[in-house]
Structure formats: C-alpha cells, structure tokens
Amino acid sequence: MTVVVVESPAKAKTINKYLGKDFTVLASYGHVRDLPAKDGSVRPDEDFGMDWEVDGKSAKRLSDIAAALKSDDRLILATDPDREGEAISWHVLEVLKKKGALKGKEVHRVVFNAITKSSVLEAMQHPRQVDADLVDAYLARRALDYLVGFSLSPVLWRKLPGSRSAGRVQSVALRIICDRELEIEAFRAQEYWSIDGTFTTPQGAEFQASLNSIAGKKLAKLDIKDEASARAIEQAVKGQPFKVDTIDSKPAKRHPYPPFRTSTLQQEASRKLGFSSSRTMQIAQRLYEGVDIGGETVGLITYMRTDGVDMAPEAIAATRNAILKNFGEPYLPSVPRHYTTKAKNAQEAHEAIRPTEMSRHPMAVRKTLDQDQFALYELIWKRTIASQMESAELERTTADIGTEGRDGKHYAFRATGSVVKFDGFLKVYSESLDDGEDEDSRRLPAMARGDSIGVRKLEGVQHFTEPPPRYSEASLIKKLEELGIGRPSTYVSILETLKIRGYIRIDKKRLIPEDKGRVVTAFLESFFRRYVEYDFTANLEEQLDKVSAGEINWKDVLRDFWKDFTAALEDIKELRVTNVLDALNDILAPHIFPPREDGGDARGCPSCGNGQLSLKLGKFGSFIGCSNYPECKFTRPMSPGADGPEAVPAEGVLLGVDPETGEKITRRLGRFGPYLQLGEAAEGEKPQRASIPKGKKPEEITLEEALRLLSLPREVGIHPETNKPIVANFGRFGPFILHDGTYANLETPEDVFTVGINRAVDILAEKKAKGFSRPKPGALKDLGPHPDGGGNIQVMAGRYGAYVKHGKVNATLPKGTDPQALTVEEALALIAARAGKEPTTKKKKAPSKKAAAKKAPVSGATAKKAPAKKAAAKKSAKKTVKAKKPKAA
C-alpha cells in the first residue's frame, strides 16, 4: 500500500479514483507549517536558523498521514509542480521525520502538470526526490520576506504613526502605483491642434485624413500649438483642389500570440471578462482540479501557475488535429509553432496553460460549468488553438492627399487603413488592449494616384495632452513581469495585501493609492530607497532563481542582504520626525500642496495667513496642519480633494445661530474630517458637536440640516416591553436605532429623524429574531462552509469595522467594501492573504505602559540587552512562563 499526499481534498478525491485501491490519497490542505508571527522566528546571528510552527488543523492532518503510514510502506509526495509545491512536500517530510513515521519507508516525489488519468499514471512511473535547490530558494525567499517585515515594520510604526507593515515585494509594487499617481498630479496639459478632414473619392466613398506635412516637413504632434495657427492653415487650404499624391499598399502579417502563462491569463481575463486577478486564479484552480463530466472528475486545464509558453509535443499535435477538424487545412501552418517567453527571470519548467484535451470543445462542457468557469475555459481553449494557427494576412494602405495652399506651401493629408485578406488565427482569437485602439480595424476605399478628391469637411480640432493612465490590475501585473518583480504565484497576494492594508483602493478597475500608502512609499523612497528600487528587487529575484538552479548558496544571499539592510536600519534609528516630515513634504508636494487658483503660496496657511502648512503625523494617521500651532489650529485631511484644499479657518465657517440658545453654529474641519459645532468651548468643557453623515458634502450643509444633526441622538420613544428608551442616531455603519444594548440599522439617513415607535419596535424585533445584538460582536452575514473545512465563513461587525472570520483567522475588509455584498470568493482571498502572508505581532506583558507602547520587534542581530531593572521586572511578570526566545545579541 502507498500513501499519496496532495494539497487539496478535491485533488485527493480525483487522484484516488485514478490510482485505485492500493493507494491512500490524503490532503495537506496547503502549507502545513509556517514561521510564527513573532520576533525571533528567523535568527540571523545563528546562521539564519528558522523556527517553524504547525497550527492545530495541520497537526491533525499530519497525524492522519503518519497514522496511514503505519500500515503502508511507501510515501509519495504529489504536491503542485512549482516552488510552493516543493516547499509543501519538504515541510510534510520534515514533520514526518520528527514524528518517526518514515522509518523503513520509501519516500518519493512526483509531479504532474495536469490532473488527468494519463498524466497522473505517467508521473507515478517517474518518481524523484524532493528538489533541495527549490527548497533552498523557498527558504531564502521566506526568510527575506520575514526579516524585511519584522525589521522594517517597527521603524514605520515609530516614525509614521497610523501606518501598517511593509513588505519586500509589496512595497515595490506600491511604489509603482504611487509613482504613477505623482506623474498624473505633476502633469500639466498642453494644448495642440490637428487639422482633420472628411474627403470623398471620385466614386463618392468617404474617408478620413489628417494633416501630416507642410512643405515636405512632417508635423509632430504638438507642432500646431494654438487656434490662431490652426485657423491660418484652414484659410490656406480652404477651397483649394485636392488630389491623391501617393498611394502605397503593402502586404503585412499578424502572427498569433503564445498560449497563456499566469500573467497573460490574468491580464486577458481582466480585459475580456472583467475578472480580478484573484477571481481568475480561483476559477483556474477549479478547472485544474477537475469538474464532473459523465460521472468522472476530470481536470480541464494544465497547471495555472507557470512562466512557460510552450507546449508538450503531444499537446501541439492534438492542437493541430483540432484546428484541422474545426477550421480546415488553410488554417493549419505547415510546421508547428514553438514559443519562448520574453519575461525577465522567467522560469520555463512547466508548460503553458492549456486544455488537457484539445478535442474537448468548450460547448461540449458548457452544461457542466458555471458561467464564469465556462468563460475562462473558452478563453484558454481559443488562445491555445489560435497559437498554432496560420498568421493573418493583411494589406496596409497609406494614401497622401495633397493641395497647394494659398500661401504657396504644399499641404499633405494622410489616410491609413488595412484590409484583412486572410483572417488566419483572427478567426478564433484577437487579444485585447489595455489602452488605445487597434488601427487594423480601419479600411480605405479604392482610389488611385492622381485622382481628384472632394472635400466634405475640413476643420481644426483642439486637443490637450493627457496624463498617463492609472494602472489596472492587468497592466500592473504586466509591469511587474517586465521588471522581473514577483512570480506567477505571488501576483494575486501582492494585490490582495495592498488592498487589505488599506494602501490602495480600486475604482472603475483602476488602482488608486490611498494617503497612508503614499506616505509609506514616500518614507521608504527617502530613507530606504535601495530596497524599493526596481532593479534591486529584480536582481534579488534573479539571485533566488540562481539558488533554485543550484548555482549559488541560499545563505550567502541572505548574508549579503542582511549586512547592508541592518546598516540601513542603524542609520535611521536616530532620525528625527522633523527630518521625516521635511522629506515627505517635498516628495508629496504635488499631491498635498496643489497649486492655488489665485497663484498664491500653495503651502501658505489659509487661516492665519503667515504660517506654513506641513504634513503632520497623528495617532490615527496623517493630516495637514499649520506651523503656527497651537496659536493657529487650522487642520485639514491630507488629500485636498479634486477642487483643492478647502480654506476652513480655525473658528469654522458660520452657518447661522441656534434660535433657542443664540449660540453660533459652525462647520469645522478636524483631523478626522468635517463636523458641526454649537457654540464655543467653555474652559474644561467640550462644546456640542455632530459628525456630518457619509455621502453628504460638507459645503452643502444648511443651517436647518445642522440643527437637526446637532439635536441627535433623538429619543424615538419608550419600548412597551422594557420601559427603556429607543434612540436614533448616526454611527460608523450608518443610521441606526439603539435599545438596551441592541443596535439595528435603518434603511435611510432620513429615518433617523422620522422613524416612529411602532416601526422601531418592529425593526428591533426583527433584529432580535435573527440573533444579532450589540455591543457583543455578531455576524452580519454567513457565507457558508469553507471549502477546506473548519467551519463556516462569517462576515462580522467589529469595533473598528467589518471583517471576515474563519476559525481563528480574522481578515479586515478593504476600505469601501460593502459587508453585505461580499462574495465567498472574495472572502476566501482575504482569509488566505491574512492567514499566510501578513505577519502580526502579539503584545507581551511589560513592566510599564511606555514599554508596551514603544517596544517593537527587531531581529536577533540588532536586538539590544534590556537594562537589568527592566529585565528583572519582565522576569517577575513571566515567572511561570517558559522562555522560548534566544538571548539578545
């Protein structure tokens, strides 16, 4: 008997059917152990010793594997065919060795690129050992990510209050997004004009052409700078006869694209299907692990985390047969096509992403797949088929239409177009573009040199240069791949981590950096520039690739990195916050101090008139304040908004007077946003204040609305059963009513002022019937069982906002996410990112509040000995706890 270990239960079930009764196939459910999220898990001063921790669920699964081995004599590790899969096999092997479960057992490693019976049985005939070089590359990558996170993040917490953690690769991706935003903000539009015409051939066919040259000199894009120049050209050619100066037709070919690799699949699925990167990979995982077809679970595509673009010879042959069958001989090239990737540092050990059976047409499996699965499978099938088809043949035509101007100069207008003579692979597939149009879609009517050309319309058209577009998920992945940053298995986690930390948001599929993300990036660029440089990160990835190829030692890579990195950490320890703020003010100036409409000093305080605005760091994040504080208390949020900073003086904007008290009502701007205030603060007392509800523009608040908001909370009435009051108000999650510790949401903001006692009692009864109550946290939504087990996934309402919960893993929802609209797939991505990627620290007992607040984790190589007095207090506080942390160096 043989025990086979794979990652997922779905995969285990399918492979067990293929192998039969002599095999026991068990799932590890992904990684079985990881570095504990605490300081000291990687110890540079002990030759990079690493501590690993097995969580409770994985411990149970490993025990099941060990128990199965008692009656079996062979173990086969059949995890995924990539670095992560190799690492999982190594972890399983190491744990089983410690358990003594492998004595007298054969251990083999097998890999297969597709979950089909033939692929699995073929792999079983070619076992090998766990690849030590791939494991070393994994260990180096994991150690680097840990050391950067647990050494750099505490620096951020001390120097940038309100910031979260930093990562080795995520910080570079964030810099790419922030750099693009700075480009957009620093961009100044330039006016230019084009002279466009609608012309007709002698046969009456219309076509478009634009001015291309004057007196034989080709026009550049910005050569016609203003309306006066454009009108002068119009007058020079108006009423003049036009004819065809030249017409040139050339044959051209368009060649098919390679089959998909991970990055191109994510890009095309985003463009064509509107899928996020995480959604694409979730669907691809399902297609890879298999679907039920005729009572048998069959994997529909090959492994979906790959840099490779070529296919196995038998797959190429099957693709060519499918082309011949479905499209005929003219679409089949005489020789097969072979591709090589152009991506930097690509690993081509695996095939491209393709259907496991090219004869399996998408329509043949349409009924067995849901809508998204079918769409992605069809996309993969078409791309694979097209990759082996004939090139498309086109005819590109360029016509120059000329006239002699009234000023004696020759003016030439150019028209271009293409005609598809043979569609070739375009019959099946055409790749989408991120930005711009495909020029091959335009076509010119027939004309000949010397033909007289009529003019229907001729005019100057004003244009303005446009800033570069923000990155989409697809274009960011493309950029990361071009730079050699990240790998197929990391693209999704990079984006998810940035969203979870609140460093970016997505609006209309474009990635926009949040203020906290911009502050972190500006800080790293100023004081850790080397570690967010594109070339440095790409070169480090290249070194890790050399480790996986067995060319260099993994600990040598770590030693070289750690030596320079710790030196950089030491340099910044004594850095003052004023130095940090000065640097951030300069880098972020286009964003936080945009030019004023009146041409005045962008950093001049609009309240006191002689102070200078500067970035300030508060407990809850960054804001803009005046240098004359505390005399001038002007503040505003870091982002001034599309219309520039609102000049709200320290005494606020007067809205009117309260008719009952005679007190002034003002609208003010604090570090946490706009609010309303009644009267002035008496000594030792706070004035009455009210927040402005979300979605309401502060400048649109009227005196009447301000009076209503300041009257809150509103007592709706007395509950007939408890004789306790019901009150209505606005809160973090919108309008609500509260009764005896139970909160219930109201449908609209207006309900706060209009809901009656009967309706309020009904709403509370409905809420109670559903089992929700506060202040105890409750589930806002139950998403059902997790596919890997361990109970249901729930969306919870927490003190600091909504979060998704599974077992002991809590993952905060990205800013702006509607808890009620969260899908299972989105929840799984958040849970996976939180459980496997983001380090957290646990608070330890300390002798004083100051120590608890200030102490931040540092590596064993840079830790300092605590004073004897503090050490004694710590020892006393933890008298009964066994110490696991090594002594500080």
Q: How much is the average pLDDT of 724-748? A: 86
Q: Per residue in 572-613, pLDDT tens?
A: 777 777 888 888 888 888 888 888 777 788 888 888 888 899
Give the per-residue pLDDT at 552.
94
Active site residues: 303
Q: Per residue in 22-60, pLDDT tens?
A: 899 999 988 899 998 888 899 999 999 999 999 888 899
Cβ pair 254, 391 in contact under 8 A: yes
Give the per-residue pLDDT at 615.
86
**HEC readout, 482-515:** HHCCCCCCCHHHHHHHHHHCCCEEEECCEEEECH
Q: How much is the average pLDDT of 813-826? A: 74
Residue located via tokens 């100066």: 245
pLDDT above 70 (res 381)? yes
Residue located via tokens 């055409």: 430
Q: CA-to-CA distance for 380 and 301, rounded, in angstroms? A: 8
Give the per-residue pLDDT at 205.
92
pLDDT above 90 (res 387)? yes
Count the neighbouring beta carbons within 10 Å of the beta carbon of residue 782. 10
Confidence of residue 800 (pLDDT cuts 50, 70, 90): low
Q: How much is the average pLDDT of 248-262? A: 93
Under DSSP, the state recorded for 335 is S
Q: CA-to-CA distance for 397 and 889, rounded, in angstroms? A: 74
DSSP labels, 785-815:
E-TTSSSEEEEEEETTEEEEEETTEEEEPPT
Q: Per residue in 272-283, pLDDT tens?
A: 998 988 899 999
pLDDT above 70 (res 764)? yes
Confidence of residue 888 (pLDDT cuts 50, 70, 90): very low
Cβ pair 376, 251 in contact under 8 A: no
Q: CA-to-CA distance for 225 and 147, rounded, in angstroms? A: 54
Give the DSSP H/E element, type plus range, for residue 274. Answer: none
pLDDT above 90 (res 655)? no
Count the neighbouring beta carbons within 10 Å of the beta carbon of residue 724. 10
Q: Per residue in 673-696, pLDDT tens?
A: 678 888 886 666 778 888 887 767
Q: How much is the average pLDDT of 447-475? A: 93
Confidence of residue 848 (pLDDT cuts 50, 70, 90): very low
**b/e string for 878-887 if b means 16 or more Cβ within 10 A?**
eeeeeeeeee
Closest to 218 in 3D by CA, of 29, 368, 381, 411: 411
Burial of 703 (0-12, 13-18, 19+ CB in 10 A): middle
Under DSSP, the state recorded for 353 is B
From residue 786, how far is each of 492, 504, 777 by CA, in Å? 20, 27, 21
Nearby residues of 836 by Cβ (< 8 Å), 6 or more positions away: 30, 31, 34, 493
pLDDT above 60 (res 390)? yes
Count the neighbouring beta carbons within 10 Å of the beta carbon of residue 534. 17
Cβ pair 164, 581 in contact under 8 A: no
Q: How much is the average pLDDT of 339-358? A: 74
Give the per-residue pLDDT at 55.
84
Sign of CA dihedral 18, 20, 23, 25: positive
- Amino acid at position 19, single letter: L
Confidence of residue 775 (pLDDT cuts 50, 70, 90): very low
Q: Per residue in 397-446, pLDDT tens?
A: 999 999 999 999 999 999 999 888 999 999 998 876 544 444 455 778 88
pLDDT above 70 (res 869)? no
Q: Per residue in 202-236, pLDDT tens?
A: 999 999 999 999 999 999 999 999 999 999 999 99
Q: Per residue in 108-124, pLDDT tens?
A: 999 998 888 889 999 99
Q: How much is the average pLDDT of 302-321? A: 91
**b/e string for 189-200 if b means 16 or more Cβ within 10 A?**
eeebbbbebebb
Helix-helix angle 132-159:83-99, to 10 degrees: 100
Q: What are phi and psi of 211, to 5 degrees?
A: -60, 125
State the alpha helices, DSSP H only, in 52-129.
56-69, 83-99, 117-124
DSSP labels, 635-700:
EEES---TT------TT-EEEEE-TTT--EEEEEEETTEEEEEES-PPTT-PPEEEEPPTTS-GGG
Q: Per residue in 513-539, pLDDT tens?
A: 988 888 888 888 888 888 888 888 888
What is the percent of the chain with per-residue pLDDT over 70, rounded to a whole number? 85
- Predicted TM-score (pTM) above 0.85: no
Q: What are phi and psi of 839, to 5 degrees?
A: -70, 145
Give the DSSP H/E element, type plus range, for residue 343. Answer: none
Count the neighbouring beta carbons within 10 Å of the beta carbon of residue 161. 14
Cβ pair 369, 329 in contact under 8 A: no
Helix (H, G, I), strand (E, B) or coil at 418: strand
Chain length of the chain: 889
Nearby residues of 194 by Cβ (< 8 Å), 6 or more positions away: 210, 211, 224, 460, 461, 463
Confidence of residue 884 (pLDDT cuts 50, 70, 90): very low
Mean pLDDT of the chain: 83
